[in-house]
A and B are shown apart, each in its own frame.
Chain A
Amino acid sequence: MFESLIGTRSTPVKNIVERGSLKAFSKSIGDESPLYLDELVGKRSRYGANIAPPTYPRVFDYGEIQGFDLPNVGLIHGKQSFHYKRPLLVGETVMCSTSLENYYERNGKSGLLGFLLLKRYGEEPGGKLIFTEEQVVIITEAVREGMSS
């Protein structure tokens, strides 16, 4: 049902690694390192600034793949990976986009399951890659039926 969208990428969206958002995020996962939160510690570190926890890109806006509409409920997050060229720095601008890499269906115990492989990109404004993310999202048969009715 998503086959025609494979290979489609969203228009990159400008995001900023905001100090306040990063503080709330760090607290919510109990990872309150001074390297993330203390300005002076960041400045004196090898990074020259505070850095972000590795899963922080969860907060970014990656834009919309045109014609790709998923319900907010009933999806299963199967797998997630991050690949970093370097850590994200607090205050920096990150251009974020997403693409549908693949879609396939398999028979499971609870009926036909759909597997979406999504890739996400975080780049410097000049186009240099900072990180990529890959996620596998599983769509159950019940949800797929709801979408097509």
Chain B
Amino acid sequence: MNIVEEFSVGTPLEITLPPVSRLDLIKYAGASGDFNPIHTIDEEATKAGLPGIIAHGMWTMGNLAKLFTPYYKEVFLEDYSVAFKGMVFLNDVLTLKASLVSIQNDRYYFDVAALNQKNEAVVKGSAVLKRF
């Protein structure tokens, strides 16, 4: 477990994920119950007019939230909002980022984003951690 004292403006929390694999998306489909076939089956993605299967937006959003997990001893995630800006394809390499914007009383305000290997934001949003 980490401590919130480590949070500082200008020092983002950051993780780079291994390249997105089909198995990642099959696992997420099974665990979440979202079996929309454009996330797992090539022909269905092609039929839907996509160049290939794409990750579930919620898979990326779920991954992004783990930047905060080590801090849940002192805070909980009160608000978490994102917009899905771009598609995530197989073998994309995502970097997850959370930057502290401000601290107000018992709340920590973050900007969050998931960037692909071309440095394009595929997910962008904000999060509020509330201290106990």
Q: Is there an interface contact between A77 and B84, defined as CB atoms closer than 8 Å? A: yes
CA distance A16 to B70 in the complex (A): 25
Q: Check A84/B65 contact, CB under 8 A, given A27-B27, A72-B36, A73-B48.
A: no
Bin chain B's interface residue count: 35 or more
Q: Is there an interface contact between B69 and A35, defined as CB atoms closer than 8 Å? A: yes
Q: Is there an interface contact between B77 and A82, defined as CB atoms closer than 8 Å? A: yes
CA distance A147 to B66 in the complex (A): 38
CB under 8 Å from chain A, chain B span 45-98: 48, 57-59, 61-63, 65-66, 69-70, 72-73, 76-84
A118 within 8 A of B: no
A109 within 8 A of B: no
Closest to B18 in A: A30
- Binding site secondary structure of chain A: mixed
Most chain A CB within 10 A, of B28, B30, B32, B35, is at B32
A1 within 8 A of B: no
Most chain A CB within 10 A, of B31, B38, B79, B81, is at B31
CA distance A59 to B30 in the complex (A): 10
Q: Is there an interface contact between B77 and A21, defined as CB atoms closer than 8 Å? A: no
Report the interface size for chain A: residues with CB under 8 A from the other chain: 32
Q: Check A59/B72 contact, CB under 8 A, given A73-B48, A82-B80, A83-B78.
A: no
Closest to B127 in A: A54
Q: Which residues of A contact B84 (CB under 8 A)?
A: 76-80
Q: Is there an interface contact between B31 and A31, defined as CB atoms closer than 8 Å? A: no
Q: Check A21/B31 contact, CB under 8 A, given A53-B66, A80-B61, A87-B72.
A: yes
Q: Which residues of A contact B57 (CB under 8 A)?
A: 77, 80
Shortest Cβ distance from A88 into chain B, in angstroms? 10
Q: Check A28/B31 contact, CB under 8 A, given A73-B37, A73-B38, A80-B84.
A: yes
A sample of 13 more A-B contacts (CB under 8 A), given A31-B66, A53-B66, A81-B81, is A24-B27, A28-B32, A29-B59, A33-B66, A53-B65, A58-B33, A72-B35, A76-B84, A79-B82, A79-B83, A80-B58, A80-B61, A80-B81
**18 A–B contacts, CB within 8 A, in A order:** A21-B31, A25-B31, A28-B27, A28-B30, A28-B59, A31-B63, A33-B72, A35-B1, A35-B72, A51-B72, A58-B34, A73-B48, A76-B84, A79-B81, A80-B82, A80-B84, A82-B77, A82-B81
